[in-house]
Structure formats: structure tokens, C-alpha cells
Amino acid sequence: MLHSMQPAAFIVPQHLSSSCKCPECETPFLYGDGVMGLAHYLNKDDEVTQGLLCFCSTTCLLRWEPSSMLGLMH
């Protein structure tokens, strides 16, 4: 579990104003306006791996992860 979902906790300050694209919906946004999540994705060899990704919203973060990876929600 992450201690924060705020990009400022993970991204150096000079990059918070950089533009990026949401991996889920492909909407452009600034890193500083996004939310961070530890998520699963396919690497260049098509192997499932996990890493820190920045999304435009918590909705996109939750849509990205397959429900089987989320575990039990309480």
C-alpha cells in the first residue's frame, strides 16, 4: 500500500508541471494534478509486472486494475 496518492510524494518538483497522458483514458493532464497508484501492466516482453503509475483520476486508477488484482475491498 502506498503512503500517499499525491504525485508530489514520488515525482521531483520540477516535473510536477510536466504534461503526461493517462494510461487508462489517454486524457492529457499535469503530473501534479494526477493520482499515483501501484498498478499491474505488461512490460516490453508482454510479462505482467507492477510499478508506480500516474493516472488523471482515482476512477481511471480503479478502471485500470482488473478486479481479480484488487483483492477484497472492505
pLDDT recorded at residue 26: 97
Q: Count of domains in the chain?
A: 1
User: 29 lies in a domain?
Assistant: yes
User: 72 lies in a domain?
Assistant: no
Q: Which amino acid is at 4?
A: S
pLDDT digits (tens, 9 = 90+) for 42-64: 889 999 888 899 999 999 998 99
Q: Is the pTM of this model over 0.95?
A: no
User: 40 lies in a domain?
Assistant: yes
Q: Give the confidence band of 70 by pLDDT, cuts at 50, 70, 90.
A: low
Cβ neighbours of 37 (radius 10 Å): 19
User: 19 lies in a domain?
Assistant: yes
pLDDT recorded at residue 3: 62
Domain that holds residue 54: 7-67
pLDDT recorded at residue 69: 64
User: 23 lies in a domain?
Assistant: yes
Buried b / exposed e over 41-66, threshold 16 CB at 10 Å, is eeeeeeeeeeeebbbbbeebbeebbe
User: 74 lies in a domain?
Assistant: no
